[in-house]
Structure 1
Amino acid sequence: MNLQALVKLVESGPLNEQQIAAINARITGMDATLGIRYTEIAKDGVSAELEIGPHMLQPFGLVNGGSYAALAESVGSFAGCLAAGAPVVGLSNTTHFLRPGTSGTIHAQARPVHLGKHVQMWEINCSVDGKLLAVTSLRTMVMV
């Protein structure tokens, strides 16, 4: 499914489980490498989850901060594309680490802060078991 078809589909409401499963089956690149699975896809935001594994840990057994930043950028950029109806690219990614993660499933939720014609701002919260671990401010540019 191309971006325009996906945008049109999302305009009628959040995607259902089958539609999300079809998107997850086609994941490539960084999302596939990390193991990101999208769980909610709607015009006003996107959510995903990521099982913490050994490939994400730094030498002291804590989740490497880059894992949160990459997850947030993927989720926020996907949400940005849907909101804009066009591709977006990251301008800045500021991830604040609030507490360490060592195991479990990271749940990331992207919500818009500002949706301008050319620039967007997204806030992405990453949590495990309801505990907030990291908050990302992602600024994207709409490619029109």
Structure 2
Amino acid sequence: MDIQQSLTILNSYNKDTLMETLKIEFIDVGTDFITAKMPVNSRVHQPHGILHGGATAALAETVGSCASAFFLKDNSKIIKGIELSINHIKSKKNGTIFATAKAIHQGRTTHLWEVKIIDEKDILISLCKITNIVLDKK
């Protein structure tokens, strides 16, 4: 499957979800990473006019969870996030942020991902770690 086909599939899951609400869009996929972007504007601000940490966390969990499912390639399994840790390094008022998930560990039942969130100037905004569990679909 080529990159464009992969991105089309990944983005098709966003309809009628939080990802669609936040305008999260998958923009790149490689052999060991997935990247998505999200616009930063008043829709994702907290009351002080800067990017809300919860919106950043939603982006990180989206990319990390989708990476587990995408690279697992097993339709009999479902991925669920069980822990998210995020450090907010720099605030952001507007523009675009980019989240890239890279695997730290991909076991049979758990996956651990590092998600780096940067802005359009390659400045680190947040650094995240997400743990996912791999379960049988019921």
Q: TM-score, normalised by structure 2?
A: 0.87
Q: State which of 97, 108, 111 in structure 2 corresponds to 1:120.
A: 111
Map of 2:14 onto structure 1? 27
Q: State which of 44, 57, 76 in structure 1 corresponds to 2:64.
A: 76
> What's the Cα RMSD here?
1.6
Higher normalized strand content (fraction of residues): 2
Q: CA deviation at 1:92?
A: 0.3
Q: CA deviation at 1:18?
A: 5.6
Structure 1 unaligned regions, length at least 5? 1-8, 10-14
Corresponding letter in the other structure for 1:70 = A
Structure 2 unaligned regions, length at least 5? none
**Hey, which bits of structure 1, 4+ residues long, moved more than 3 A?**
none
Higher normalized helix content (fraction of residues): 1
Map of 2:29 onto structure 1? 41
Paired positions, count = 131
The answer to whether the 8 Å contact 2:117/2:124 transfers is: yes
Q: Structure 1 residues 25 and 141, CA, compared in 2 at 3 Å: closer, same or farther?
A: closer
**How many percent identity over aligned positions?**
25
3-state DSSP of counterpart to 1:130: coil
Aligned equivalents of 2:69, 2:31: Cα separation in 1: 9
Q: Structure 1 residues 80 and 43, CA, compared in 2 at 3 Å: closer, same or farther?
A: farther
Aligned equivalents of 2:84, 2:11: Cα separation in 1: 24
Q: Does 1:63 align with 2:51?
A: yes
Could you list the per-position Cα deviations for residues 75-111 of structure 1 after superposition, in whole angstroms to 9, with x for gaps in the alignment? 1000000222232100101111001111111011000
Aligned equivalents of 2:131, 2:29: Cα separation in 1: 19
Could you list the per-position Cα deviations for residues 6-43 of structure 1 after superposition, in whole angstroms to 9, with x for gaps in the alignment? xxx3xxxxx43365246435522011010001011234
Q: Does 1:142 align with 2:134?
A: yes
The answer to whether the 8 Å contact 2:3/2:30 transfers is: no
Map of 1:53 onto structure 2? 41
The answer to whether the 8 Å contact 1:90/1:140 transfers is: yes
Q: CA deviation at 1:44?
A: 1.6
Q: Structure 1 residues 22 and 119, CA, compared in 2 at 3 Å: closer, same or farther?
A: closer
Corresponding letter in the other structure for 1:143 = L
Q: CA deviation at 1:52?
A: 0.7
Corresponding letter in the other structure for 2:49 = G
Q: CA deviation at 1:142?
A: 0.6
Corresponding letter in the other structure for 2:52 = N
